[in-house]
Amino acid sequence: MDIAFSPSRPDADTLVFAVAKGAVETLPLSASPTLTAGASAARFAGEAGTSFESFVEEGGKVLRVVLLGIGGGGDADLERAGGALTARLATSGAVHAAVEFPAGGAGKDAARLAFGALLRGWRIETYRTRQPEKAKPTLKTVTVVSADAGAEWDRLSAVAAGVAFTRELVAEPANILYPESFVERCQPLRELGVRITVLDKAAMAELGMGALLGVAQGSMREPRLLALEWDGTDGAQKKPVVFVGKGVTFDTGGISLKPGPGMEDMKWDMGGAGAVAGAMKALAGRKAKAHVVGICGLVENMPDGGAQRPGDIVTSMSGQTIEVLNTDAEGRLVLCDALTWAQKSYDPEILVDLATLTGAMIVSLGSEYAGVFSNDDGLADDLIAAGKAAGDPLWRFPLGDAYDKLLESPIADIKNIGPRFAGSITAAQFIKRFVNDGVKWAHLDIAGMVWADKPGAVWDKGATGYGVRLIDRFVADTFES
């Protein structure tokens, strides 16, 4: 689906009028009394994301007319409205929709509505060969009538491209997307000015990444560590902010095998790495004035004869030894080595990891919030504020020495799981052991957010792209404001 902007109404088969809450009577149509009466009968009042549809005859043609509620007209309302428009028209038979705001509308409002429409319009059609005619997408173009969407659209369209990239990575099946092919999918980011570094199995072994390599040893797919660096400051920002993503491209649980029902969902256990890659595409695409590094620890967790066993002890790159009591608690093993390498290579002051880490997080928060853990109140507050503004919400969880005791091992420095309760917290406590003194660190457990079983305001069922907008907003507010 294409997005366009025009100072005047184009020749379209569908007319869409943005209606603020309580402003149905102000429609700029000769037939507005009829539409107003119909909208009133349908109890349409302009709430964000609601709509009323009818048909009118104009110039000898019958046109579809949609009244689209934009609520109070804030960013979230406009995004919701744009998403609702796409959801309503995507397979409706409409081909070209023209959207008009009252009195022309501001460029920023037009860009924000178009952003929501574009986000909601993403879908993966790669593997469909047969589809009912009425299920096929028909909507090709949304033109927003606005004199100037300008720089605002340049920025938002780059973020939308990053979200789409993340969704693509998360949605792909594990026979298509695995560590090596994930790296290949990221190669086009070089064209945006992103510097790419890749470590293979041999390089990681030489560095002593026994924790990450232990997870990968049961798979025929070799692991990779991928670093994506964007510097839009020309060297002025000496220390980059670093984001690290868990990239388990498929997670069977290893020898601690997961139950069969639902295991197919574990293709999205690389959602943290997917979010990091998409965010780097967004930041480079909009030429962010910040120095940012995204690191993806990429492995596949499989249960063959060479797989890691419960009870094995591995040595991490940091030198700390880990008793692996459960091979399905693998994400933290990947992250601990990726975080150590990140700190040794880039010496960051701010370090944030994103991971679909624990089922316990889904039990706690469902699919409404991701959890955030941090050793710095200011960093946690900034991330929560960015998530709220961007539409990727976070809820803070505690850390504390009492939880550390739950990870004590009788035979190694630390064990990789705690007892049954507080599972998300003990996972965060584990990761914290590998963060250097003085580094501001946050861990985002996004297990409930990267995949949706039902449509949302700006996504369809499936991959949501969670994390891209959050990272982009955090970088903009913290380093570019």
Taking the C-alpha atoms of residue 120 and residue 463, their distance in angstroms, rounded to an integer, is 11
**Tens-place pLDDT, residues 307-344:** 999 999 999 999 999 999 999 999 999 999 999 999 99
pLDDT (0 to 100) of residue 31: 53
Catalytic member of 258, 287, 289, 388: 258
Who contacts 111 (Cβ-Cβ below 8 Å, separation ≥6)?
144, 146, 149, 150, 152, 153, 156
Mention every residue, 6+ apart, whose C-beta is less than 8 A from residue 363. Answer: none
Quote the pLDDT of residue 26. 73
pLDDT at 23: 86
> How much is the average pLDDT of 52-74?
90
Place of tokens 């890691």: 308
How many CB atoms neighbour CB 108 within 10 A? Answer: 18
92-118 pLDDT per residue, tens: 999 999 999 876 567 899 999 999 999
pLDDT tier at 199, thresholds 50, 70, 90? very high
So what's the pLDDT on residue 104? 55
pLDDT at 33 over 60: yes
Q: In what order do the strands lie in the sheet with 96-100?
A: 2-6, 141-145, 96-100, 14-20, 61-71, 51-58
What pLDDT was estimated at residue 34?
A: 80
* Residues forming CATH 3.40.220.10 domain(s) in the chain: 2-148
- Tell me the average pLDDT across 408-418: 97
Q: What are phi and psi of 102, to 5 degrees?
A: -60, 135
Contact predicate 272/245, CB 8 Å: yes
pLDDT-derived band of residue 28, with 50, 70 and 90 as boundaries? low
371 bridge partner residues: 395, 445
Q: pLDDT digits over 152-173, tens only?
A: 999 999 999 999 999 999 999 9
Average pLDDT, the chain: 95
Q: What percent of the chain lies above the pLDDT cut of 90?
A: 89
Give residue 150's pLDDT band: very low, low, confident or very high (50, 70, 90). Answer: confident
Asked if 408 contacts 378 with a C-beta cutoff of 8 angstroms, the reply is no
Question: What is the pLDDT at residue 30?
Answer: 52
Q: Is 433 a catalytic residue?
A: no
- Spatial distance between the Cα atoms of 464 and 331, rounded to a whole number of angstroms: 20
Q: Using pLDDT thresholds of 50, 70 and 90, give the confidence band for residue 29.
A: low
Q: Which one is catalytic: 108, 332, 432, 469? A: 332
How is residue 287 written in tokens?
A: 């030429």
Domain 156-480 has CATH 3.40.630.10: yes
Polymer length of the chain: 481
> Where do you find CATH 3.40.630.10 in the chain?
156-480
pLDDT for 24 equals: 82
Q: Please say whether the dihedral angle defined by the alpha carbons of residues 366, 432, 238 and 197, taken in this order, is positive or negative.
A: negative
pLDDT in tens, 220-256: 999 999 999 999 999 999 999 999 999 999 999 999 9
CA atoms within 13 A on the CB side of 424: 26
Closest to 330 measured CA to CA, from 350, 354, 355? 355
CATH code, 2-148: 3.40.220.10
Give pLDDT, residue 17. Answer: 92
Annotated active-site residue 432? The verdict is no
262-296 pLDDT, tens digit per residue, is 999 999 999 999 999 999 999 999 999 999 999 99
pLDDT for 429-449, tens place per residue?
A: 999 999 999 999 999 999 999
